[in-house]
């Protein structure tokens, strides 16, 4: 029996390698996508390697293939790979994009690469490294020498990773996108001439070609924005266009009177913000639109087919007239056909019925799911204990995260007053969320989401004012992306007086799980705290931490930051991939910012809670 299994394993491995090494040709010709000389309709799904544990890449790609898809599209996140100026990482955590593409090829999927440099994607800063804001005279997403030098370095680094995976070199990458939804940015930035915009988009497109990308190119924009976003030499594709006749008319207009026709972003779900309802799109509606595309010969890419998770501090943010920031959830479930945890949904099954053929493989088995009834938290440590071990940065005025050379997390601002002062505290330069304390007593919570920037304050003689500020994610879409500094970015004002002199800043990036081994149990209700616990597992499995009894913060499991939670919802659970758990002892650390009460335990469930909105738990009633 063992010998038979060994022979079968070797056979499957050889077959997989043979499939991966078969060289194909791909072209855009005679109004068609042409694969190996034959017209093909692309049935693609968007799925991002950075939002999925690498241990689960193959499972998720197999889920796509079993749905009846023939391609996977992925953004490449510049800031996920350039972790510091000139420091490139394509290996650690979930960063090995080349390996992801190789697995896609082994599973019989072609790849559509979307390298940006701007990607939107509800991702922190739209994929831009935060430190670009520190480069003198740099203007992001513009015809700017410093910026274009940075994009060239990024494209060069990326090409070095994926060049052997282009279809022209025997790989699965059949198309590459130039820029990303640039027409929208042109419409948002009318302060810049269309000629200047076009110089930039043409320069970025040329960089992609110059570094070596030699497969067909495309652009993606709303169909009404092709004039602004289309590039000569790239196929214009539409985002969110459900009118097939309109799609063909506009593509013909900007592509020499011919196709092929593709909807590069077909939305089976939608993005989600904290403190706002979870949007839903029905399976029936998505299946009906898919059928329209199939019948009309229109290629498409589901955005998203599987969203995954914004682990750590990777989630981005939007804004609108009522909110200066709308931070995205940790979950990127997106109401997609494949759920955040990789489960087949009703939508998945409906689309599989439409797309499957005789050669479509079976749906992979669901990954094991567990519940943990209680995780006891044996240590509760005041955040101040960590802060007191940090050497502060002293300055005349509060400094931004960027000035402190910090990308994410928190900064503790502190100032001692030698004279009493009272009145209205104005923090118009808050980015994004702050808790204000006087002598350790909480005074207020301020928040850019609610445009809540002021409170009444009374600072007695020799008192200390502390303001703990959280970066909730940089803007990823819209004109305001160019102003994405974080922290306190303008003067602090009390009773009309600008408060200057002797400000201390304590950086708390939380880029690693805090070490609480020697810390004391000294947490107090009403002050931010860190909780630590251990739990034993006889068997691993995916699970969902239930954070409904908590306020606001982040969670580390076995050293990995699994993301933010916030009691306002609609997300009330955090996805914990089983591959990050261990049989035996596991460690959890929770940073609770509000800490209205001392916690003693946390539990996990077998099902996610993503639609439980609790607006009354917001900071403004």
Q: Please, which pLDDT band fits residue 389 given cuts at 50, 70 and 90?
A: very high
CB neighbour burial string for 567-598, b if at least 16 within 10 angstroms, e if fewer: bbbbbbbbbbbbebbeeeebebbbbbbbbeee
Burial (CB < 10 A; 0-12, 13-18, 19+), residue 346, is: exposed
Query: Alpha helix locations (H) across 22-144?
Result: 57-67, 78-81, 97-106
For position 619, what pLDDT does the model report?
A: 53
Looking at the structure, do residues 261 and 117 belong to the same domain, yes or no?
Answer: yes
Domain final residue, candidates 501, 527, 556: 501
Write the CB contacts of 530 (distance below 8 Å, at least 6 apart in sequence).
379, 380, 381, 382, 383, 386, 514, 516, 519, 523, 589, 590, 591, 592
Q: Which residue has the tokens 């306020």?
A: 551
- Neighbour-count burial of 14, counting CB atoms closer than 10 A to its CB (0-12 exposed, 13-18 middle, 19+ buried): exposed
User: pTM, whole model, 2 decimals?
Assistant: 0.95
Indicate if 484 and 536 belong to the same structural domain. Answer: no
What CATH number is associated with residue 457? 2.60.120.260
Q: Do 593 and 458 share a structural domain?
A: no
107 assigned to active site: no
Is residue 200 domain-shared with residue 137, that is, in the same domain?
A: yes
Domain-located, residue 105: yes
Q: Is residue 142 part of a domain?
A: yes
Question: How would residue 618 be classed by pLDDT, with cut points 50, 70 and 90?
Answer: confident
Instruction: Please provide the size of the chain in residues.
Output: 621
Within a domain: residue 506?
Answer: no
Q: Which two tokens stand for residue 53?
A: 């544990």
Residue 370 lies in a domain: no
Predicted confidence band at 333 (pLDDT cuts at 50, 70, 90)?
very high
270 and 225 part of one domain: yes
Structure confidence at residue 584 as a pLDDT band (50, 70, 90): very high
- Per-residue confidence (pLDDT) for residue 22, from 0 to 100: 76
- Domain, as residue range, for 575: 375-381+513-617
Q: What is the rounded distance in angstroms from the CA atom of residue 4 to the CA atom of residue 358? A: 27
Last residue of a domain, one of 445, 466, 501: 501
Among the options 228, 265, 426, 619, which is catalytic?
A: 265
pLDDT at 621 over 50: no
Find how far residue 549's CA is from the centre of its chain. 25
Residues 6+ apart with CB under 8 A from 83: 89
* Burial profile 378-404: b = 16 or more Cβ within 10 angstroms, e = fewer: ebbbbbbbbbeeeeebeeeebbbbbbb
Number of domains in the chain: 3
Residues 411 and 323 both lie in one domain: no
Mean pLDDT lowest for which of 11-15, 74-78, 419-423? 11-15
453 in a structural domain: yes
Q: Is residue 389 part of a domain?
A: no
Do 78 and 217 share a structural domain? yes
Q: What is the mean pLDDT of residues 101-117?
A: 99
How confident is the model over 539-561, as a mean pLDDT?
A: 98
Residues 336, 478 within the same domain = no
- For residues 115 and 57, membership in a common domain is answered with yes
Q: Pick the catalytic residue: 46, 179, 181, 592?
A: 181
How far is the CA of 317 from the CAs of 126, 242, 323, 396, 474, in angstroms? 9, 26, 11, 30, 6
For residues 37 and 60, membership in a common domain is answered with yes
Q: Is 265 a catalytic residue?
A: yes
365 located within any domain: no
pLDDT, tens digit, 9 for 90 and up, residues 227-284? 999 999 999 999 999 999 999 999 999 999 999 999 999 999 999 999 999 999 999 9
CB of 424 closer than 8 Å to CB of 495: yes
| Alpha carbon distance 403, 380 (integer Å) | 31
Q: What is the 3-state secondary structure (H, E, C) of 181-219?
A: CHHHHHHHCCCCCHHHHHHHHHHHHHHHHHHCCCCCEEE
User: What does the pLDDT look like over 391-422, one tens digit per residue?
Assistant: 999 999 999 999 999 999 999 999 999 999 99
Give per-residue pLDDT as tens, 128-185. 999 999 999 999 999 999 999 999 999 999 999 999 999 999 999 999 999 999 999 9
Same domain, 98 and 234: yes
* Contact in structure between 275 and 615 (CB atoms under 8 Å): yes
Sequence-distant (≥ 6) Cβ neighbours of residue 419 within 8 angstroms: 461
Does 319 lie in the same domain as 269?
yes
DSSP state of 355: H
Give domain status of residue 568, yes or no. Answer: yes
Sign of CA dihedral 395, 401, 407, 412: positive
| 197-220: average pLDDT | 98
Q: CATH number of the domain at 220, please.
A: 3.20.20.80
Instruction: State which of 477, 501, 525 marks the end of a domain.
Output: 501
- HEC string for 134-165: HCCCCCCCCCCHHHHHHHHHHHHHHHHHHHHH
């Amino acid at each position: 029996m063992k010998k038979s299994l060994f022979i079968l394993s070797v056979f499957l491995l050889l077959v997989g390698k043979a499939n991966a090494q078969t060289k194909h040709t791909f072209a855009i010709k005679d109004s068609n996508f042409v694969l190996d000389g034959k017209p093909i309709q692309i049935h693609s799904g968007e799925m991002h390697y950075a939002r999925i544990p690498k241990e689960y890449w193959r499972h998720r790609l197999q889920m796509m293939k079993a749905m009846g898809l023939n391609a996977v599209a992925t953004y490449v996140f510049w800031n996920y790979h350039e972790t510091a100026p000139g420091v490139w990482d394509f290996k650690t955590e979930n960063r090995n994009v080349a390996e992801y593409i190789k697995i896609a090829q082994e599973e019989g999927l072609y790849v559509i690469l979307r390298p940006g440099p701007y990607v939107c994607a509800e991702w922190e800063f739209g994929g831009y490294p935060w430190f670009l804001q520190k480069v003198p005279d740099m203007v992001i997403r513009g015809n700017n020498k410093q910026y274009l030098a940075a994009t060239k370095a990024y494209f060069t680094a990326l090409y070095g990773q994926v060049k052997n995976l282009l279809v022209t070199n025997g790989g699965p990458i059949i198309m590459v996108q130039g820029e990303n939804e640039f027409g929208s940015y042109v419409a948002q930035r009318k302060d810049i001439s269309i000629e200047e915009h076009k110089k930039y988009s043409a320069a970025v497109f040329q960089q992609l070609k110059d570094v070596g990308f030699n497969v067909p190119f495309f652009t993606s924009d709303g169909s009404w924005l092709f004039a602004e976003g289309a590039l000569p030499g790239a196929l214009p594709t539409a985002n969110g266009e459900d009118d097939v006749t309109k799609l063909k008319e506009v593509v013909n207009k900007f592509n020499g009177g011919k196709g092929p026709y593709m909807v590069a972003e077909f939305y089976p779900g939608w993005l989600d913000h904290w403190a706002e309802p979870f949007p839903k799109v029905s399976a029936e509606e998505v299946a009906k639109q898919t059928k329209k595309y199939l019948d009309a010969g229109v290629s498409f890419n589901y955005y998203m087919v599987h969203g995954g998770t914004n682990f750590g501090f990777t989630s981005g943010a939007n804004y609108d007239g009522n909110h200066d920031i709308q931070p995205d959830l940790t979950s990127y479930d997106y109401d997609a056909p494949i759920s955040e945890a990789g489960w087949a949904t009703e939508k998945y099954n409906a689309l599989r019925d439409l797309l499957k053929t005789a050669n479509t493989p079976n749906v992979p088995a669901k990954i094991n799911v567990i519940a943990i009834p209680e995780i006891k938290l044996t240590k509760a440590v005041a955040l101040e204990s960590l802060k007191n071990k940090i050497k502060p940065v002293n300055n005349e005025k509060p400094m931004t995260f960027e000035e402190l050379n910090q990308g994410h997390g928190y900064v503790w601002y502190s100032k001692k007053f030698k004279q009493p002062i009272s009145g209205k505290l104005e923090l118009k330069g808050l980015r994004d969320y702050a808790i204000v304390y006087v002598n350790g007593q909480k005074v207020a919570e301020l928040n850019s989401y609610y445009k809540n920037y002021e409170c009444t304050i009374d600072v007695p003689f020799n008192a200390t004012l502390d303001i703990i500020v959280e970066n909730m994610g940089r803007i990823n879409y819209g004109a305001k992306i160019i102003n994405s500094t974080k922290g306190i970015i303008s003067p602090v004002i009390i009773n009309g007086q600008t408060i200057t002199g002797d400000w201390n800043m304590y950086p708390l990036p939380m880029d690693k799980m805090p070490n609480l081994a020697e810390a004391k149990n000294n947490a107090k209700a009403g002050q931010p705290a860190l909780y630590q616990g251990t739990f034993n597992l006889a068997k691993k499995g995916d699970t969902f931490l239930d954070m409904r009894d908590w306020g606001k913060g982040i969670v580390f499991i076995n050293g990995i930051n699994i993301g933010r939670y916030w009691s306002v919802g609609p997300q009330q659970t955090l996805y914990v991939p089983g591959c990050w758990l261990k049989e035996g002892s596991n460690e959890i650390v929770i940073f609770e910012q509000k800490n209205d009460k001392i916690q003693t335990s946390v539990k996990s469930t077998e099902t996610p809670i993503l639609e439980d909105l609790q607006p009354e738990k917001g900071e403004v009633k």
